[in-house]
Amino acid sequence: MTDAFDAEYLLAIRQDMLRFARLQLRDDAVAEDAVQEALAAALDGRKEFAGRAALKTWVFAILRNKIVDTIRERSRSVNVSALSAEEEEMDQTFDRLFKPNAHWQPDQGPAAWGDPEAALGQEQFWAVFEACLKHLPANTARVFMMREFLEFDTDEVCAELQISTSNCHVILHRARHGLRRCLEQTWFGNGAASC
Amino acid sequence: MLSCKEVTHLLSEGLDRKLTVVERVRLEMHLLICGGCSNCRKQMDFLRSACRRYVAKHTRDDDGAR
């Protein structure tokens, strides 16, 4: 049997891990540490791990825990609820999409994206998607990615980051609309609809 | 009737918690007559599936080819 932990394969996985950790942690050095620790833990546990079949899935499960630990530690010193200038600007941009009666401005409503699922098969789309994620303010992105990438329940996200449920919803809404707008402007094009 | 802005919040929250029956009825009524918000719902659902796909693509051995 070949060793599942051959260096070349681990190096390839390491690149994916770094990319994933950087997106979520927004700090290259911190991401590097999380990846190193996850790889070390994976190597320590290699005896219990039988076969290469799901090595990547397994290593990423370890990385997920490391990322959560890092976010949890960070949330003790950083107030996730505090709004940055970027986040305030996002909220103002969002508000400008609406008329005073809170319905869409005639040319500002979300557009029809046709068959967006088709984009999922295109590498170029994923580059745009990553760029849009990186464009989100750091705290907003962390909450969003904890929910959507690490697949935590909203209650767990709120508890881990010590923010209220309603604030959690506000942050996730901000993230989703930021992403939605970014994808619309950079990939799916115009064709805005109001009511 | 719900405003479009309120609908955007319900659409997002619907991805994070179970909406109440009253919320769902009011939401569906609004979506029936509002093209912008209907597009918004499709986009929110698409974001969820794009995130799932991204994670599968980068973190699993099968490369998310599903």
Mean pLDDT, chain A, whole residue set: 88
Domain containing residue B39: 4-59
Q: Is residue B42 part of a domain?
A: yes
At B62 the pLDDT is: 64
Cβ atoms A169, B16 nearer than 8 A:
yes
ipTM of the complex: 0.92
A104-154 per-position pLDDT tens digit: 999 899 999 989 999 999 999 999 999 999 999 988 998 999 999 998 999
Q: Greater confidence, B41 or B60?
A: B41
Chain B interface includes A34 (CB < 8 A): no
Q: Is residue B64 part of a domain?
A: no
Q: Is residue B66 part of a domain?
A: no
Query: Does the pLDDT of residue A1 top 70, yes or no?
Result: no
Give phi and psi for B12, each to the nearest 5. -70, -45
Q: Is residue B23 part of a domain?
A: yes
Give the tokens for residue A95.
């508000």
CB proximity list for A160: less than 8 A, separation 6 or greater:
A68, A71, A72, A75, A146, A152
Q: For testing the chain B interface, which of A64, A105, A173, A182 should be mutated: the one with the most B CBs within 10 Å?
A: A173
Nearest 5 degrees, angle CA B58-CA A184-CA B30?
110
Measured CA to CA, the distance from residue B36 to residue A195 in angstroms comes to: 5
Cβ atoms A59, A17 nearer than 8 A:
yes
With beta carbons under 8 A apart, name residues in chain B contacting A55. Answer: 61
Measured CA to CA, the distance from residue A17 to residue A56 in angstroms comes to: 9
Q: Is residue B54 part of a domain?
A: yes
**Which of A60, A102, A120 comes nearest B50 by C-beta?**
A120
Q: Is residue B30 part of a domain?
A: yes
Mean pLDDT of B35-52: 96
With beta carbons under 8 A apart, name residues in chain A contacting B57. Answer: 126
A17-61 per-position pLDDT tens digit: 999 999 999 899 999 999 999 998 888 877 776 665 578 888 898
Domains located in chain A, CATH noted = 7-77 (1.10.1740), 85-188 (1.10.10.10)
Cβ atoms A80, A139 nearer than 8 A:
yes
Q: How many CB atoms lie within 10 A of CB A53?
A: 11
Q: Pick the residue from chain B with its C-alpha nearest to A151.
A: B52
Q: Is residue B26 part of a domain?
A: yes
Q: How far out from the chain centre does Cα A135 lie?
A: 11
Cross-chain Cβ contact B4/A109 below 8 Å: yes
Give the tokens for residue A129.
């998607």
Measured CA to CA, the distance from residue A127 to residue A52 in angstroms comes to: 29
Chain B interface includes A168 (CB < 8 A): yes
Q: At what angle do helices A165-183 and A154-161 cross, to 10 degrees?
A: 110
Domain count, chain B: 1
What's the one-letter identity of residue A33? D
Give the tokens for residue A150.
């690490």
Q: Is residue B65 part of a domain?
A: no
